[in-house]
Amino acid sequence: MNWIDTHTHTYDTSFGQDPETLVRNALDSGVDVLIQGGVDMDTVGPIRRLCEAHPGVVYATIGLHPTEVKKDYETQLKGLYEELSSANAASAAQGGFRYVAVGEIGLDLHEDKTYFEQQKDAFRKQLHWAKALDLPVVLHVRNAFEEAWHILKQEQDGSLRGVFHCYGGNLEQAPRVVDLGFSFGIGGVLTFKNSILPDVVRSVPRERILLETDAPYLAPVPHRGTPNESAYIPLIGQKLADCLEMQIAEVARFTTANARNLFKI
């Protein structure tokens, strides 16, 4: 069986994990594609180096994460757009490194609301990038589903596509994600006791389900409370198979196909 981790931060060494070891562990577990979620200009270098060391295995997204929207957000956006557009133009001409999505972008009202107006501005601008560059978006939406949905609804012209990474909406909001044409990023939270995600995955079309870890965060049971890694994707896949009452091989097949279709990899 082959798996894809559609959202991870293998490059992040803040938990003391070695990126090369994490890539090897993932490959040994049958996870043969790891998509890195970029969050600001500081993540560009580490992500590019990891991708260039593992072509065809490690892929990249880049955007300005809503919690990274500060006073200098317009400067950050300028640098990120230059990096994104130049890298993908060079790839189109010569092959090699490219970004497979704009993200992670979105809205976050979990803690600090100081820059919420700036978050909304940054979100819209990056949605425009995605439409102009024909790329999907990877959405970080935390405690702000209604606000994010309103912007997406306004911006959806038929060309916007992407995934609600680490879907945090409720069961009633899930059909609105489907109606927008977006997918659901399902990770370790699916395995947590009292999670609503089992009901969510049973209620949405299978072609809209992607698997992710968000490593090093949100490790699945039985590793909850320890650093997460892409090698744990099969554990999430098994839980999804249990929820949908199907064989794990079928889950690996359709989630991998969904990821390849969205990110064009």
Convert the pLDDT of each residue in 164-173 to its tens digit.
999 999 999 9
Specify the residue for token string 């995600």: 197
| Positions of the chain with pLDDT lower than 50, given as ranges | none
CA torsion sign for 225, 229, 230, 232 is: negative
Class of domain 3-263: alpha beta
Q: Phi and psi dihedrals of 29, rounded to 5?
A: -95, 5
pLDDT score recorded for residue 187 = 98
User: How far is the C-alpha of 95 from the C-alpha of 25, rounded, in Å?
Assistant: 28
pLDDT score recorded for residue 10 = 98
Cα 86–chain centre separation: 22
pLDDT score recorded for residue 2 = 96
pLDDT score recorded for residue 42 = 97
Convert the pLDDT of each residue in 78-129 to its tens digit.
999 999 999 999 999 999 999 999 999 999 999 889 999 999 999 999 999 9
CA distances from 162 to 38, 53, 155, 194, 218 (A): 15, 26, 13, 27, 21
pLDDT score recorded for residue 144 = 97
Q: What ranges do the domains of the chain cover? A: 3-263
